Amino acid sequence: MNQDENNFESLRRLLALKRHEIPPPGYFNRFSAQVINRIRSGEAAPASVSERLHAEAPWLMKFLQIFEAKPAFAGAFAFALCLFLVFGTVLAERPDYSTPQPLLQTAESSSASVAAVSQAVLPQPNDQTLLASGSSSNSASSLQPVASMFGQQNPFAQQVSFSPSGN
């Protein structure tokens, strides 16, 4: 490092000229008063978006600064993001074959329940005696014609009475 310092010695002497650049006379006598007056009047330039980010999310600014310093990182990040999106899209559109068993089971169980309902509702061959007795109050399962429809008497309908064979 000392070698570097020697190499740049003349440059450092030239840069010393900057220390001789001074603002107009009396400038610093007024400076603090101007600052305090501006604070008192509540005047301040509105914070820019990047300033607000610096204050509120310094990690995000550091992240962006990495991209700014090394554009290759930005390219790699963008590529990885695109890859992730494409992979996600393909995965979402692919038909799912991984769970056929539960579906079949559901179908079987649903057909079984339908059969159970139909058994309960529809008359079975063994229930002939029940049907013949006419004691059922279930109109849906009754084979009797409807006596009146829309409030009108059906002229062709006849009252029929069944009586059990034993009586």
Partner 1 sequence: MIMAEPVEPRESELPVPEEESTLVRRARKGDLAAYDDLVKRYQERIYATIYHMTSNHEDANDLAQESFIKAFQALKSFKGGSTFYTWLYRIAVNKTINFLKQRKNRTHMSLNDIDFNAEHDPDLMALISDNTPRRAAGLTELQKKLNEALLKLSEPHRLVVVLHDVQGESHEEIAKVMDCNIGTVRSRLFYARQQLQGYLNDYLK
Closest CA to 164 of 127, 137, 133, 126: 133
Q: Which long-range contacts (CB under 8 A, 24 or more apart) does 155-162 make?
A: 162/132, 162/133, 162/134
Which of 2, 6, 24, 126 forms a contact with partner 1 (CB under 8 A)? 24
The residue whose two tokens read 């978006």 is 49
SS3 148: strand
Asked whether the beta carbons of 47 and 36 are under 8 A apart, the reply is no
Query: From CA 148, how far away is CA 159, in angstroms rounded?
Result: 12
Q: Is 161 in the site for partner 1 (CB under 8 A)?
A: no
Closest separation between CB of residue 23 and partner 1, Å? 5
Q: Rank residues 54 and 134 by Cβ distance to partner 1 and give the closer one.
A: 54
Which of 34, 126, 135, 161 forms a contact with partner 1 (CB under 8 A)? 34
Q: Could you tell me the two tokens for 136?
A: 């059922």
Scan residues 54-113 and list those touching partner 1 (CB under 8 A). Answer: 54-55
Which of 2, 6, 26, 44 forms a contact with partner 1 (CB under 8 A)? 44
Total residues binding partner 1 (CB under 8 A): 38
Q: How far from chain centre, in Å, is Cα 121?
A: 44
Which of 18, 90, 159, 163 forms a contact with partner 1 (CB under 8 A)? 18
Q: Give me the residues that bind partner 1 (CB under 8 A), please.
A: 1, 4, 8, 10-24, 27-28, 31-36, 38-40, 43-45, 47-48, 50-51, 54-55
